[in-house]
Structure 1
């Protein structure tokens, strides 16, 4: 399920790409609580619409054993793979971690000018619902036209230290201890903060908060509470989702 927040209500949309108004621009995804799942969902939706799409990273992602997942690639291979599959994930192998690191700078510098959606995983979160970035994070390309900041609603009612990557930084922003429970207002504070969710967002880029894991009526009510707080704090573009790890 995918909703946008409008007029104090959750209004259902047919697709995530519609809710996020995905077009031919660079979209950087940051935060926590389902970034990779969101990228897969957008990827699948683009392909179903017969729209070519590139997915890459400026940090590190898990390698996937798929024919359209390329490491140490070239512009020619990227174009060939797009022609065959309509999609391509690009990066380079990190021999120490075994993960996929960013592709070569010259590759990114060229593809960022292509007229198609380019999805960038620009942050890491250790699979936790919340994230507050360190000084060197997130790594958002200057060509980014849209920053999508993801939060997991399953953090609400659990302790800050058990749900947030770099929770000590969150504790400073929220002025609460790590053993205290996360509230809907806490998520809104983090998502609207230039030290957290909005950190590194280019001034010319659209900023959208995605509240993921709205898997029940109670979670959707909690999402509405977060949405209202976000509006008060100047965040207008909010999407509420129930995305699952299984690809569609």
Structure 2
């Protein structure tokens, strides 16, 4: 089975995670497998000190890469703007991450939007915050949303999901709906730079039933969007289930 780094084409460059239902888990799985990885964000991100060797809070992340101190050898390295609260950090604006990516000689892993722990989402007018230097953008959705109600308990911004899929609030979430969200230019494919590659990820594929549903999602994505592959994964176990091309 494909390694998650290969499946997501994440060995180098700037890799951005958007969507819901596994962004952070995927981010940290990649960081643990990559040499000289930097973990950062263009939005708020929960405290992740246990997932990296060191975290630096700084207004100048480029300088932190070459300060002659611990951060020059402490990888994976977390770089964030500040600790905003006890439970979260504040990220950088996309232009600052662009500068960081140009200065760093390793992969830069970016959390580029938020979902408040929901399993599916569609972005608002300010989201996602993707740097121009992004090489790969990974829109994420959890297969666990399927069968649930299109409501705020499962979906971040359910009204926006409804608007781009012609669904109604309260409808049952189907593989068709999840696939259309991932494939939509106002959903998973929003604001992806022209030179970047989109690789949708269907997460939480825990059993045969989940896999069957995830394959339906992948089929819908391929029907509606020009992407090279859709990755099916169980990221809590750091496992790629399949790559659907």
Give the corresponding residue for 2:243: none
Going from structure 1 to structure 2, the CA distance change for 1:170 and 1:103 (only over 3 Å counts) comes to: closer
1:59 aligns with one of 32, 43, 50:
43
1:110 alignment partner in structure 2: 99
Q: Cα gap change, 1:106/1:211 in structure 2, threshold over 3 Å: closer, same or farther? A: closer
How far off is 1:78 after superposition? 3.1
Corresponding residue number in structure 2 for 1:30: 18
2:141 maps to what in 1?
151
Do the aligned residues in 2 keep the contact of 1:91 with 1:101 (CA within 8 Å)?
A: yes
Q: Give the Å deviation of 1:22.
A: 1.5
Q: How does 1:1-248 map to 2 (within 5 A)?
A: 12-13=1-2, 15-46=3-34, 51-66=35-50, 68-72=54-58, 74=60, 75-79=62-66, 80-95=69-84, 99-103=88-92, 108-113=97-102, 114-161=104-151, 162-234=153-225, 235-244=227-236
Contact 2:40 2:78 in 1 (8 A): yes
Q: Where does the alignment leave 5 or more consecutive residues of structure 1 unmatched?
A: 1-11
**Unaligned 5+ runs, structure 2:** 239-245
Aligned length: 230
**What residue is the counterpart of 1:4 in the other structure?**
none
CA change 1:104–1:59 in 2 (3 A) is closer
Post-superposition Cα deviations, 1:66-98, rounded to whole Å, max 9, x if no partner, equal 551111265454344454332101112254686
Secondary structure of the 2:38 match is strand
- After superposition, the C-alpha distances for 1:81-121 in whole angstroms (9 at most, x for unaligned) are 45433210111225468621124778534321123110110
1:73 and 1:61 map into 2 onto residues whose CA distance is: 16
Conserved? CA contact 1:230–1:236, under 8 Å: no
Change (3 A) 1:107 1:227: closer
Equivalent-residue separation in structure 1 for 2:20 and 2:202 (angstroms): 10
Work out the CA distance in 1 between the residues paired with 2:84 and 2:146.
37
Return the alpha-carbon distance in structure 2 between the equivalents of residues 64 and 228 of structure 1: 34
The question of whether the paired residues in 2 share the 8 Å contact of 1:185 and 1:225 is answered with yes
**TM-score after normalising by structure 2:** 0.86
Structure 2 CA distance, aligned partners of 1:199 and 1:88? 28
